[in-house]
């Protein structure tokens, strides 16, 4: 019997917070699941103990392309410098390349790269529209794994299968959300069903025998590691990885709900129809708050409905013409604050949630 430390629970969250729906009813009735985050006291890894991998089937309705934002494109430029430093002249495979923006950016930098992702919608011949499996039969000098490892049930086994499919060798770049940042910021809107794993930077030093570089990026929200894939191993628990989950983690749910209850009828909007916005809106709706306006710059989300709440996502030009000057806009990610202020000519009252 494994020894676990219970960390956090959440109930009936959408299985896919980034799957978009064509009707309010379909969105409200989407498949939901529960979360029981635990820390394994043998490995130190943190994960949802009751996660069901069988529910996770990604398709073209899954929309999580962040590169529509100039801010995020700048982040990807920063990441490309890390890739250039460690992988220049390498052949690359990007496992989970999404809609292909980063892959095509690396191609523009003269990298030879193949992408693998079942949600890909474009026509780039370098992308294989499948889940990763050894049967695909391709190998490379380096592997790019951005925002994938948090989605797979057994991350060490997954990395081991990539290693084996790549003839037991290769260098790997991994990028995932940072659990320490989530805890420090009490970011309850950053815990999702489809993220089965939650990583600390120490985890990767224990998961790999050789780490070339590791650090934090995107304002500390993400962590990254460049490691020798051949040295992947099952980590062992030590005191440095022991998590102390904040008791006040959910306090801001009531604070936001109370503030909006006493809003005096003042109009407001949620800016961000992706992961954070989905969970924030769901928790607010469950607290009795009536959210009428959700804004997102991603055209693939506009005119579609958010999982769980069934809220309609509007383009900025459609939403802002109805919002009075100085209305409150709840910005789901402070990294985008300047970009949002510039897009809206600084006409509103901006409240960053994180």
Please, which pLDDT band fits residue 1 given cuts at 50, 70 and 90?
A: low
Domain edge (last residue) among 247, 282, 297: 247
pLDDT over 70, % of the chain: 96
In a shared domain, residues 61 and 208: yes
In a shared domain, residues 221 and 262: no
pLDDT in tens, 289-303: 999 899 999 988 999
Domain edge (last residue) among 247, 274, 303: 247
What local confidence, expressed as pLDDT, does residue 304 receive?
A: 95
The count of structural domains within the chain is 2
* C-alpha–C-alpha distance, residues 58 and 99, integer Å: 12
pLDDT in tens, 139-196: 899 999 999 999 999 999 999 999 999 999 999 999 999 999 999 999 999 999 999 9
* C-alpha–C-alpha distance, residues 285 and 24, integer Å: 14
Q: What is the CATH number of the domain that holds 284?
A: 3.40.50.720
Please, which pLDDT band fits residue 97 given cuts at 50, 70 and 90?
A: very high
**Quick check: 268 pLDDT over 60?**
yes
pLDDT in tens, 27-82: 999 999 999 999 999 999 999 999 998 888 766 666 565 656 778 888 889 999 99
**Quick check: 126 pLDDT over 70?**
yes
Q: What angle do CA 7, 9, 12 make, to 5 degrees?
A: 155
The conformation of residue 183, written as its DSSP 8-state character, comes to H
Domain edge (last residue) among 247, 269, 290: 247
In a shared domain, residues 184 and 289: no
In a shared domain, residues 196 and 258: no
Q: What is the CATH number of the domain that holds 196?
A: 3.40.50.150
In a shared domain, residues 200 and 273: no
Query: What is the residue range of 278's domain?
Result: 251-352
In a shared domain, residues 108 and 211: yes
In a shared domain, residues 314 and 257: yes
**Quick check: 285 pLDDT over 80?**
yes
In a shared domain, residues 30 and 167: yes
Instruction: Classify residue 336 as left (phi > 0), alpha (psi -120 to 50) or beta.
Output: alpha
Mean pLDDT of 219-228: 96
* C-alpha–C-alpha distance, residues 127 and 129, integer Å: 6
Give the residue from 163, 246, 244, 236 showing the smallest Cα distance to 203: 236
The size of the chain, in residues, is 354
């Amino acid at each position: 019997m494994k020894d676990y430390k219970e960390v956090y629970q959440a109930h009936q969250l959408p299985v896919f917070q980034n799957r978009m729906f064509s009707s309010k009813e379909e969105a409200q009735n989407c498949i939901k699941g529960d979360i029981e985050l635990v820390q394994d006291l043998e490995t130190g890894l943190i994960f949802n103990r009751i996660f069901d991998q069988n529910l996770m089937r990604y398709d073209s309705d899954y929309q999580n392309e962040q590169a529509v934002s100039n801010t995020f494109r700048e982040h990807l430029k920063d990441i490309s410098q890390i890739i250039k430093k460690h992988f220049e002249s390498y052949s690359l495979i990007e496992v989970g390349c999404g809609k292909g923006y980063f892959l095509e950016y690396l191609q523009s930098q003269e990298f030879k790269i193949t992408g693998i992702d079942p949600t890909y919608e474009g026509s780039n011949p370098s992308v294989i529209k499948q889940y990763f499996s050894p049967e695909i039969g391709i190998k490379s000098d380096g592997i790019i794994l951005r925002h994938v490892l948090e989605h797979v049930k057994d991350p060490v086994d997954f990395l081991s299968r990539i290693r084996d499919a790549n003839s037991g060798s290769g260098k790997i770049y991994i990028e995932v959300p940072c659990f320490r940042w989530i805890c420090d910021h009490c970011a309850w809107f950053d815990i999702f069903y489809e993220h089965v794993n939650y990583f600390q930077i120490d985890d990767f030093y224990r998961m790999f025998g050789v780490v070339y570089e590791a650090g934090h990026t995107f304002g500390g929200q993400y962590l990254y590691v460049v490691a020798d894939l051949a040295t992947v191993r099952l980590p062992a628990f030590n005191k440095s990885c022991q998590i102390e989950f904040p008791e006040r983690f959910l306090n801001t749910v009531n604070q936001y709900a109370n503030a909006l209850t006493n809003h005096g009828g003042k109009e407001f909007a949620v800016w961000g129809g992706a992961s954070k916005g989905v969970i924030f809106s769901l928790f607010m709706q469950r607290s009795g708050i009536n959210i009428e306006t959700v804004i997102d710059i991603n055209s693939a989300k506009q005119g579609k409905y958010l999982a769980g709440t069934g809220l309609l996502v509007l383009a900025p030009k459609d939403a802002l013409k109805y919002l009075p000057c100085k209305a409150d806009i709840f910005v789901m990610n402070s990294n985008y604050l300047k970009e949002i202020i510039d897009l809206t000519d600084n006409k509103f009252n901006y409240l960053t949630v994180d």
